[in-house]
Amino acid sequence: MDTVEGAVSALRQALGEQVLSVESFRGETTVVVAREAIVEAARLLRDAPELQFNLLAALTAVDYLPEEPRFAVVYKFYSLPNNRFLGLRVPVPGDDPEVPTIEGVFPNANWHEREVYDMFGITFKGHSDMRRILMPHDWEGHPLRKDYPLGYEEVQFTFNFDDIDRRKRYARE
């Protein structure tokens, strides 16, 4: 049996109802699990001797505003001995964006989770250092949310050049 199929059936066996669905797209398998089960799922993937997904390759999130559940946290695990990728996806409701941390299983989740917190405002329960990582510490808002504007500087054309230039603040000595 292929490692990925084995992983899916092992997850189904161990977590039961908490495996919500299994998606396959362009040859990539993603298992959707409930957020309560993510730590157990990560530990199972890492420790099961026939799976050995021992590298957390990527961790990120997606904002599906205005759908509900609004967020999804995406994990990509890589198995070095078996040379396979497996994705996990955890739906997160918008009114209570909190997921248990997997820092205890994969130490490198620390920074990835901080980045997700910084960019999406999803907090990770039990995380050892839940601070902003990329934006300044006093920044308000979470930039990668879909309701956060990109930020926009007006473009100067001939007709409005002086108008915009007057409003621009230039630094002085």
Partner 1 sequence: MTGAERAGTVYMSEPEKELPVDELKHLVSERALTGETMVLNMGPQHPSTHGVLRLLLELDGEEVINCVPDIGFLHTGIEKNMESKTYMKALVMTDRMDYLNNLGNNLAYCLAVEKLVELDVPPRAQVARVILAELQRIASHLVWLGTHALDLAAMSLFLYCFREREIILDIFEMCSGARMMTTYIRPGGLWRDLPDGFEEAVRAFLKLMPGRIDDYEAMLDKNPLWLDRTQGIGVVSAEQALGWGLTGPALRGSGVALDFRKAQPYSGYELFDFDVPVGSRGDVYDRYKVRMEEMRQSLRIIEQALEALPAGPVRSNNRKFVPPPRSELGHSMEALIHHFKLWTEGFSAPKGAVYVAVESPRGELGCYLEGDGGPKPYRVHFRTPSFASMQVLPVMSKGHLVADLVAIIGSVDIVLGDADR
Partner 2 sequence: MGVEGKLGQLGVVTTTLEKMVNWGRTRAMWPMLFGLACCAIEMMSAQASNYDMSRFGMELMRASPRQSDLMIVAGRVSRKMAPVLRRLYDQMPDPKWVVAMGDCCSCGGVFNNYAIVPGVDEVVPVDVYVAGCPPRPEALIHGVLSLHEKIQAEKIRDWS
β-strands 71-79, 55-63 pairing: antiparallel
Q: Does 94 bind partner 1 (CB under 8 A)?
A: no
Q: What is the C-alpha to C-alpha distance for residues 85 and 28, in angstroms, rounded to an integer?
A: 8
Q: Which is nearer to partner 2, 27 or 149 (CB)?
A: 149
Cβ-Cβ contacts under 8 Å for 34 (sequence gap 6 or more): 15, 17, 18, 20, 90, 91
Q: How far is CA 1 from CA 4, 24, 68, in A?
A: 8, 17, 35
Q: Between the CA atoms of 81, 35, 1 and 54, what dihedral angle is there, to the nearest 10 degrees? A: 10
Q: Is residue 173 involved in binding partner 2 (CB under 8 A)?
A: yes
95 versus 173: smaller Cβ distance to partner 2: 173
Q: Which of 17, 95, 96, 138 binds partner 1 (CB under 8 A)?
A: 138
Interface residues with partner 2 (CB under 8 A) are 134-136, 139, 143, 148-153, 168-173
Interface residues with partner 1 (CB under 8 A) are 25-26, 28, 30, 54-58, 60, 62-63, 74, 76, 78, 80, 83, 85, 87, 106-108, 110-111, 115, 119, 128-129, 131-141, 143-144, 148-152, 168-169, 171
